[in-house]
Amino acid sequence: MLGGNTRGKVLGSMSSPKTLLRVESLVKHFPVGGLFGPGDHVRAVDGVSLSLLRGQTLALVGESGSGKTTLGRCIVRLIEPTSGRVSFDGVDILALRGTDMRALRRRMQIVFQDPAGSLNPRMTVGTAVREPLEVHRIARGKDAHARVNKLFREVGLDPSLTTRYPHELSGGQKQRVGIARALSIQPEFIVLDEPVSALDVSVQAQVINLLVDLQKARDLTYLFIAHDLAVVRHIADRIAVMYLGKIVETADVIPLYDRPLHPYTVSLLSAVPVPDPRAQRKRVPLRGEVPSSRHPPPGCPFHTRCPHTRKDERCSTEVPKLQEVEPGRWAACHYAETPMTLGRGA
């Protein structure tokens, strides 16, 4: 599952036949300020391009305000992007309307972070999983009932739970229901928006393992949105790191964790707590906080917090392009070729 190296690169100019999802220069600006205020915008997603191969897991990581959740929702069109292209299996989905879009909804799904909030509190969990089957005329009556039971078993839930309401289930069970509901219409691609962040550690591991097993069994493609880099390492093939609405680095899992090229990735990795008192890392301290996405800094968006020793004038004036530094490794840093080292304590 981790041998991502052979799966090819995420960013490439050529569209490979195996490419399932392609995002090009996606932009989402949210207007802020009242009716009479100045026309200001939050640049939640600011020109993102990525592509995803069939059967692969791409993790989108970043801190709050990085735009990762907005990007995920733009891809499944829960939010209309301001500009850019999203093509799914060769179809430009932003151009789809009405029934065509609804037909495409069957092929892409989303699982949300908050397992309690993403289920209708007045609907039994069985009905929640059954509803999409009936809406899309996949099954009805006894057949639908049998399918719901089968889905429940597939995600590790007892079918007797179908008559329960969401609040009667534990957090882990609710998230399994959310997964079963997403699987009900047999999608090929699932956006997993922080699917385990709200769960307890012992349950989080169960759900991660479930997601990995389902991917194998159903040949699913995942876009896994997360802030926890330790979790991501266990599930992703490839990683895209976001900062202030832009992708700053993307690479396969192993090289990215071993030798990150962008100073933001370096700091992010060094900040992850390690559950071993003897293996504490030397942190690469990040000064200050994420700037406002209403007024991102000029030049490199990260230069205000950057710990890189070579930081200079150029960083605060010229926006670094996301470029291929090594085969399959892309970074948006003027000094990506001389990366900082990831400090490790004794």
What is the smallest separation between the CB atom of 229 and another protein, expressed in angstroms? 6
In the list 17, 34, 39, 277, the residue contacting another protein (rule: CB under 8 A) is: 277
Segment 11-40, which members bind another protein (CB under 8 A)?
A: none
Segment 112-151, which members bind another protein (CB under 8 A)?
A: 112-114, 117-123, 131-132, 135-136
Quote the CA–CA distance of 40 and 61 in Å, as a whole number: 26
Sequence-separated (6 or more) residues with CB below 8 Å from residue 26: 45, 47, 48, 49, 71, 74, 81, 83, 84, 85, 86
Burial 70-90 (b: 16+ CB within 10 A, else e): bbbbbbbbebebbebebbbee
What is the smallest separation between the CB atom of 226 and another protein, expressed in angstroms? 10
By CB under 8 A, residue 256 contacts another protein: no
User: What is the 3-state secondary structure of 211-260?
Assistant: HHHHHHHHCCEEEEEECCHHHHHCCCCEEEEEECCEEEEEEEHHHHHHCC
Quote the CA–CA distance of 242 and 100 in Å, as a whole number: 31
By CB under 8 A, residue 276 contacts another protein: yes
* Identity of residue 280: Q
Segment 65-94, which members bind another protein (CB under 8 A)?
A: 73, 76, 78
Q: List C-alpha distances in Å: 188 to 19, 82, 183, 219, 221.
A: 12, 26, 9, 7, 6
What is the smallest separation between the CB atom of 135 and another protein, expressed in angstroms? 5
Quote the CA–CA distance of 74 and 78 in Å, as a whole number: 6
Segment 194-233, which members bind another protein (CB under 8 A)?
A: 200-209, 227-231, 233
Segment 287-316, which members bind another protein (CB under 8 A)?
A: 288-290
The tokens describing 308, both together, are 């890189």
By CB under 8 A, residue 273 contacts another protein: yes
Helix (H) / strand (E) element for 136: namely: none
By CB under 8 A, the count of residues binding another protein is 76
Quote the CA–CA distance of 264 and 121 in Å, as a whole number: 40
The tokens describing 2, both together, are 């981790």
Segment 170-189, which members bind another protein (CB under 8 A)?
A: 170-173, 178, 181, 185
What is the smallest separation between the CB atom of 341 and another protein, expressed in angstroms? 15
In the list 110, 157, 261, 333, the residue contacting another protein (rule: CB under 8 A) is: 110
Q: Among residues 256 and 261, whose Cβ is nearest to another protein?
A: 256
Q: Among residues 76 and 331, whose Cβ is nearest to another protein?
A: 76
Q: Provide the 8-state DSSP code for 319.
A: P
In the list 64, 142, 313, 327, the residue contacting another protein (rule: CB under 8 A) is: 64
By CB under 8 A, residue 58 contacts another protein: no
What is the smallest separation between the CB atom of 28 and another protein, expressed in angstroms? 15
What is the smallest separation between the CB atom of 254 and another protein, expressed in angstroms? 8
User: Looking at 37-45, 244-252, 271-279, 324-332, which segment touches another protein (CB under 8 A)?
Assistant: 271-279
In the list 140, 150, 283, 310, the residue contacting another protein (rule: CB under 8 A) is: 283
């030397």: which residue's tokens?
282
Q: Among residues 13 and 97, whose Cβ is nearest to another protein?
A: 97
Half-sphere CA count of 104, side-chain side, radius 13 A: 21
What is the smallest separation between the CB atom of 170 and another protein, expressed in angstroms? 4
* Identity of residue 199: L
By CB under 8 A, residue 259 contacts another protein: no
What is the smallest separation between the CB atom of 283 and another protein, expressed in angstroms? 5
In the list 216, 279, 282, 326, the residue contacting another protein (rule: CB under 8 A) is: 279
């004036």: which residue's tokens?
317
What is the smallest separation between the CB atom of 74 and another protein, expressed in angstroms? 12
